[in-house]
A and B are shown apart, each in its own frame.
Chain A
Amino acid sequence: MPNILLTQKCVRSCPYCFAQKHMDESPPEDMMTWENLIYIADLLETSGEKGVSLLGGEPFLHPYIVDFVLYLLERNLHVNIFTSGIMSDKMFREARKFLSNIEPDRLSFVCNVNNPEISPSSELERTRRFLKEFGRLTNLGFNIYKNDFEMDFLFQYINEFGLKRHIRIGLAHPIPGEKNVFIKKENLPQFAERFISYAPMFERFRVDPGFDCGIPLCLFSDEQLGKLYKINKGNLKFGCGPAIDIGPDMMVWSCFPLSRYQKKSLYEFDSLQDILQFYHENLHSKVRIEASGIFEKCDTCVHREDGICTGGCLAHNLTHFMNEAPIRFREVYIDE
């Protein structure tokens, strides 16, 4: 499912954000136009794609987002929106009027939330307003960037607002060329430990976690994997499958952390499959040849070879090459 960036502006400044630099460098008026959206929808249709994600920055900053969503739904695409839930009152009224009665099999939200204790009250209020209205369509998203993270509030939100019983867990990785906050490689096992400590809450509230890309299998012991298996209903995934992102300027890249690698114009491709193939052949494979995973032991890992784990975040892999002389495949270096 490709991601369409409606805007490069955001309403928050999350410390783990991997897009901050990209957004700072993009003109704020750079917003998705109708003509470009139609072109993308056409491309998706001819590629046989059934769904699309809308994101930003904050997609609800785009003045036409509700029109866009209704349009994409009429194009028979499932629409998933990544949002903080923070939007103007006017936009909220509009969204409520036109989107809240749409069926979950057509429209969904992933609301990325931060710990309430670190969130300003005005932001919190708007997020809660959003969750109250759109709860039945919404999964929570939570990004972990330090080891002393708290997840209790997530279960509270799910119960209070009747949200979908699933949490999308993201793990912040170092992004090539960015100065974002992340958990260092050597401290990742503590992340695993702390995460598993929440297993009883997942079980009690019958919520299942889904790992966003880039969490290696070996962070977890066999016992921890067993617990994970149970709370996840057997849907364990340790893969990194970089999504395709399409910017408002019709540039395309493979996953935001990799946005400085081989950015291309969407017009250079005839189908989504072409795009996927291009990045698989020209970036992902090349990186994995140079470094199989974020750990050295990934090179000889049987689970990676068997395809159960992809060795963590691809962008994280690339940080290995940031400060060395260019002796490897050209593709693993940032485009100048």
Chain B
Amino acid sequence: MSEHILVCPFDEDLIGRLRRRAIVVRAAKFEFIPHINRVINEHNKLHCIWVIDRRKTLANIPFAEDWLNIPISCFIGGLGSIKNVMNKLSILRKLSIRVFLSPREGRNFRDLMILSSLGVNCGVFWGNGGNKEIDWELMNDLMHYAVYSRAKHAAIEPFDYVVSKYDPKRPTDFNSVYFDNPRRYLHLDKEENIALTQEDLMRGNFISKGISSIDSIGGNQKYIESKTLWQEYFFKMEECASCPAWRICLGKFSASLKQNSKCKDFFSDLLDAADFYRSSKAKEKVLCQL
């Protein structure tokens, strides 16, 4: 059986046809969370519920006790009223939730710092954010806080992913944070069309059809080719190919790099942070388990 985790909408017919799969469900409403959890876990394993609702703010999400132990990631519009968020902190800290905000709104960087400092896992989500320019300097401030702050705080993604998974000998693809890394995730729609990323799925760039094809996806020609798509940057001698931070970005911001080099500066700093984190970990003592 393929070890890929499937990302699909919450369609009970579709879910009913899946067996013994790890599943990320894309949901549009928070209210469905307990129901989704029950349905998925009947014959499969819930990996995460990925709620995208930019109309919602953290202050007006109806968190509930029956969400406990359900892994949730959500991409929402913002924090909303901080006072109301503070009221919900006790339950928020108990939930297995990760809150994503768009980096295209300047105040979100501040809000992510607030959340992280209060012990709530959070992160930036670049997708679906529109065309507004990213403030890379604020991004850098947030990253520095995430990696270097000595005070206890919750992880801020994708920085935490990058620094903890980073291996200088291998590329680090933080798209895993958004369930968009084809090495780990495949995207499925109700008609059982299969794509490598969510964007491909939305655009109809399918690589296969049918649940039965999932287990042999390793032999799928388009899947195989996707593993070496990164090489295109090198054929064209694109700027990304000669970016010092290539190994943790892999060209995700090539459009941005054409306009200015701020993404290069940011990811270079993140790479330095990853090296720093790695060398700090290497110095930690590891005692044998007694």
Contacts and interface: CB of A to CB of B under 8 A. Distances in A.
Contacts of B141: 35
A38 B86 contact: no
Interface in B77-113: 82-83, 86, 89, 110, 113
Interface string B113-136: 110011000000000000000000
Contacts of A67: 82-83, 86
Indicate the member of B83, B152, B153 with the most A CB atoms within 10 Å: B83
A39 B281 CA distance: 24
Interface stretch (A5-13, A70-78, A212-220): A70-78
Given A34-B113, A35-B110, A74 B83 contact: no
B83 A66 contact: yes
A66 B141 CA distance: 25
A74 B89 CA distance: 8
A71 B82 contact: yes
A309 interface: no
A290 interface: no
Contacts of A45: 151-152
Nearest to B153: A42
A37 to B, nearest CB: 9
A98 interface: yes
A71 B110 CA distance: 13
Nearest to A41: B117
Nearest to B93: A74
Contacts of B86: 67, 70-71, 74
A46 interface: yes
A38 B150 contact: no
Contacts of B118: 71, 74-75
Nearest to B119: A74
Interface in B137-153: 141, 145, 149-153
Interface in A230-285: none
Given A45-B151, A46-B150, A46-B151, A38 B117 contact: yes
B199 to A, nearest CB: 33
Contacts of A34: 110, 113-114
Nearest to B117: A38
Interface in B5-43: none
A329 to B, nearest CB: 34
Contacts of A71: 82, 86, 114, 118
Nearest to B110: A34
A260 B77 CA distance: 44
Contacts of B83: 66-67, 70, 98
Contacts of B145: 38
A64 B83 CA distance: 10
A157 B89 CA distance: 36
A70 to B, nearest CB: 4
Nearest to A43: B151
B210 to A, nearest CB: 50
Contacts of A74: 86, 89, 118
Interface in A49-74: 64, 66-67, 70-71, 74
Nearest to A68: B82
Interface in B256-287: none
Nearest to B113: A38
Contacts of B151: 41-43, 45-46
A88 to B, nearest CB: 17
Nearest to A94: B83
Nearest to A44: B151
B234 to A, nearest CB: 39
B117 A42 contact: yes
Interface in A183-206: none
A45 B145 CA distance: 15
A42 B119 CA distance: 12
A199 B89 CA distance: 47
B154 to A, nearest CB: 13
Contacts of A46: 150-151
Contacts of B110: 34-35
| Shortest 7 CB-CB contacts between residues of A and residues of B | A42-B151, A70-B86, A67-B82, A45-B151, A34-B110, A46-B150, A46-B151
Given A34-B110, A34-B113, 20 more contacts: A34-B114, A35-B110, A35-B113, A41-B117, A42-B117, A42-B149, A42-B150, A42-B151, A43-B151, A45-B151, A45-B152, A46-B151, A64-B82, A67-B82, A67-B86, A70-B82, A71-B82, A71-B118, A75-B117, A75-B118
Interface of B: 82-83, 86, 89, 110, 113-114, 117-118, 141, 145, 149-153
21 contacts: A34-B110, A34-B113, A38-B117, A38-B145, A41-B117, A42-B149, A42-B150, A43-B151, A46-B150, A46-B151, A67-B83, A67-B86, A70-B83, A70-B86, A71-B86, A71-B114, A74-B86, A74-B89, A75-B117, A75-B118, A98-B83
